[in-house]
Amino acid sequence: MNRAQLVSEIKRKGSYLCVGLDTDLNKIPDHLKGDKDGMLKFNEAIIQATADLCVAYKPNLAFYEQYGEKGWGILKETIQMIPDTCMVIADAKRGDIGNTASYYAKAVFNDLGADAITVAPYMGKDAITPFLEFEDKWTIVLGLTSNPGAADFQYHGDTPLYEKVIRKCAEWGSPEQLMYVVGATRPDDLANIRAMVPDHFFLVPGVGAQGGSLSAVSKAALTLDAGLLVNSSRGILYAGESEDFATDSRKAAFVLQQEMKSLLS
């Protein structure tokens, strides 16, 4: 999915919602816990209930890799269920160099069939550019994250490290192929980052469970093309516990989509 398609879907759906498919067998409804295909059935129900309300799904690979080959297979089947109107972001936070990075890109773009991958910047340019060589695919670099540990290293230096990372990566990847992860928990920094890179999309975790506010995030960084994908995971996935859990998930997604629709207009 290229940028024009993404922006078109955002406008058509009135939504810049990304649903985080962090499916946890300990948290899915009881009737699926004992089912050997429970994880896949859960994902299928979530996707069917929310695909018209969001523009992206973001499975975090760790949730699947913990089950080895079987988990990888479930993830691949899940991605195949996602309609073309939604971007698939493999939240992999990979960070390796040269050929090795290309192999991660192949794993995620070719084998899994994702549109985008999250990438860690610590190793520098040779850990970022191999991903950018894949046409119509997206590289989403960790900029300023939403977790408490972000304070340990991302603010290091007179010019904070995250600022250097964001400026440098903008030299390597255009707004057609590169995005940033910027946490919702720091709206002031979000506004500063928007000023640094006015045209790049931001993938924003941390709304909901982690305390970030959709309106504050949007006020700080929404652009004419939206320029934002705001992620919600737990708040949508685990909204209900009954056999009809997907209806509750849809309601939770609908609340966010309605707010986004009004913020977009």
Residues that bind a copy of itself (CB under 8 A): 22, 24, 60, 62-63, 65-73, 76, 91, 93-101, 103-104, 106-107, 110-112, 120-128, 142, 145, 147-154, 156-159, 161, 164-165, 168
* CA 157 from centre of chain: 28
- Nearer to a copy of itself (CB atom), residue 66 or residue 247: 66
- Nearer to a copy of itself (CB atom), residue 31 or residue 164: 164
Distance of alpha carbon 49 from alpha carbon 71, whole angstroms: 22
Task: Fill in the amino acid letter for 84.
Answer: D
- Nearer to a copy of itself (CB atom), residue 64 or residue 138: 64
State in angstroms the smallest separation of the CB of 219 from a copy of itself.
26
Distance of alpha carbon 29 from alpha carbon 48, whole angstroms: 17
Distance of alpha carbon 75 from alpha carbon 171, whole angstroms: 33
Exactly one of 93, 164, 168, 219 is catalytic; which is it? Answer: 93
Residues 168, 171, 174, 177, CA torsion sign: negative
> Is 93 one of the catalytic residues?
yes
State in angstroms the smallest separation of the CB of 212 from a copy of itself.
15
CA atoms within 13 A on the CB side of 117: 33
Distance of alpha carbon 259 from alpha carbon 144, whole angstroms: 24
Local structure of residue 223 (DSSP, 8 states): B
H-state helical runs in 14-127: 30-33, 38-50, 61-65, 68-81, 98-105
- A 10 A CB-CB count for 37 gives 11
Strand partners, 9: none
Distance of alpha carbon 96 from alpha carbon 187, whole angstroms: 30
Task: Fill in the amino acid letter for 223.
Answer: T
Active site residues: 93
